[in-house]
């Protein structure tokens, strides 16, 4: 196994740390609300309106919730963005994977899943407020969103096929969207061929995203769990039974409690 996947204790598949229990409780509550037909969006907007007024409610709807709605509901074709759907898929894969994660991993994933879908609009507001620029330039913030998403997933998985797939499909979709939006004067100052904005091409690019993401994440997680070495073996696979040294002679990984000598070794 790679250095990133080495561990001294196999995390049980049904075992949770405190972060996992918190997320599990939230997931159960959301499932109950969904089954009861509770509209949490209305409750959220009601609270924001009571506390912060009309302007805050309008900002939340137009700058945040609208783009999350597009990422979750727009399935014809699906939008390959790092939002709530991608977040749930990654969290499931992390839970299956045997390696333990620190709390900041979950915090970074949740924070980026909240910010990423509306990043283009937020950047536009900042440009307008600071420099008075009213052009809707989607190329730079969208490319930054793709790069940050791929880098975050690469840091978590340490397996290049997943971020590579996200980067390639995300970049193709970005050029497709930019070519299509050029007719409205949006996108990029670099002229793009009209065929890049074709709707059929958009569908061919977007549809493989979620099947590929699900397949790659499950392959990464299940393969790592099945490859965990047995008892008495270092995480690199070296047989430590009968050895009394403080580290593995193969890879140098610390071995805090040398295993007892098995009967077969005398």
DSSP-based three-state secondary structure for 48: helix
For the chain, the helix, strand and coil percentages under 3-state DSSP, each to the nearest 5: 65, 5, 30
DSSP-based three-state secondary structure for 15: coil
188 or 145: which carries more pLDDT confidence? 145
pLDDT at 8 > cutoff 50: no
Domain boundaries defined on the chain: 12-38+74-228, 229-266
pLDDT at 109: 92
pLDDT, tens digit, for every residue of 80-139? 778 888 888 898 898 888 877 788 888 899 999 888 888 877 777 777 777 666 555 556
pLDDT, tens digit, for every residue of 24-54? 788 788 888 878 877 787 888 899 999 998 9
**Residue 194 — pLDDT band, cuts 50, 70, 90?**
low
- Residue 89 CB: number of other CB atoms within 10 A? 16
- Residue 117 near residue 81, CB atoms below 8 Å: yes
Report the alpha-carbon angle 167-169-174, nearest 5. Answer: 90
- Residue 72 near residue 88, CB atoms below 8 Å: no
Beta strands in 14-65 (DSSP E): none
What are the phi and psi torsion angles at 239 (to 5°)? -75, 115
pLDDT at 255: 65
Which of 60, 87, 84 has the alpha carbon at shortest distance from 72?
84
Cα(78)–Cα(99) distance, integer angstroms:
30
Cα(167)–Cα(165) distance, integer angstroms:
5
pLDDT at 192: 59
For the stretch 254-261, contacts whose Cβ atoms lie closer than 8 Å and that sit 24 or more positions apart, written own/partner, are 256/8, 259/231, 259/232
Please provide the average confidence, as pLDDT, over all residues in the chain. Answer: 75
31 or 179: which carries more pLDDT confidence? 31
For the chain, give the percent of residues with pLDDT over 70: 65
* Contacts with 9 (C-beta within 8 Å, 6 or more apart), sequence order: 100
Cα(3)–Cα(213) distance, integer angstroms:
24
DSSP-based three-state secondary structure for 126: helix
For the chain, give the percent of residues with pLDDT over 90: 15
- Residue 178 near residue 188, CB atoms below 8 Å: yes
pLDDT, tens digit, for every residue of 227-260? 765 556 665 556 666 666 677 776 677 765 544 4
pLDDT at 215: 95
* Contacts with 179 (C-beta within 8 Å, 6 or more apart), sequence order: 187, 192, 193, 194, 195, 196, 197
The kind and range of the H/E element at 47 are helix 40-52
Tokens of 121: 């609009």
């Amino acid at each position: 196994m790679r250095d990133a996947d080495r561990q001294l204790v196999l995390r049980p598949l049904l075992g949770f740390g405190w972060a996992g229990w918190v997320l599990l409780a939230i997931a159960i509550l959301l499932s109950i609300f969904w089954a009861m037909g509770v509209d949490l969006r209305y409750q959220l907007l009601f609270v924001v309106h009571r506390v912060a007024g009309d302007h805050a409610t309008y900002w939340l709807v137009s700058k945040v919730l609208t783009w999350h709605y597009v990422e979750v509901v727009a399935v014809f074709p699906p939008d390959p963005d790092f939002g709530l759907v991608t977040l749930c898929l990654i969290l499931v894969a992390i839970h299956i994977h045997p390696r333990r994660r620190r709390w900041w991993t979950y915090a970074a994933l949740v924070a980026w899943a909240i910010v990423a879908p509306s990043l283009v609009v937020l950047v536009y507001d900042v440009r307008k407020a600071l420099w008075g620029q009213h052009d809707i330039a989607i190329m730079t913030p969208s490319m930054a969103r793709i790069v940050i998403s791929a880098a975050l997933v690469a840091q978590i998985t340490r397996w290049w096929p997943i971020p590579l797939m996200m980067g390639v499909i995300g970049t193709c979709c970005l050029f497709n969207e930019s070519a299509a939006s050029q007719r409205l004067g949006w996108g990029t100052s670099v002229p793009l061929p009209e065929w890049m904005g074709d709707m059929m091409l958009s569908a061919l690019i977007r549809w493989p995203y979620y099947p590929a993401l699900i397949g790659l994440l499950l392959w990464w997680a299940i393969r790592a769990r099945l490859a965990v070495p047995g008892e008495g073996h270092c995480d690199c696979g070296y047989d430590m039974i009968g050895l009394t040294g403080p580290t593995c002679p193969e890879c140098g990984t610390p071995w805090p409690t040398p295993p007892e000598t098995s009967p077969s070794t005398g």
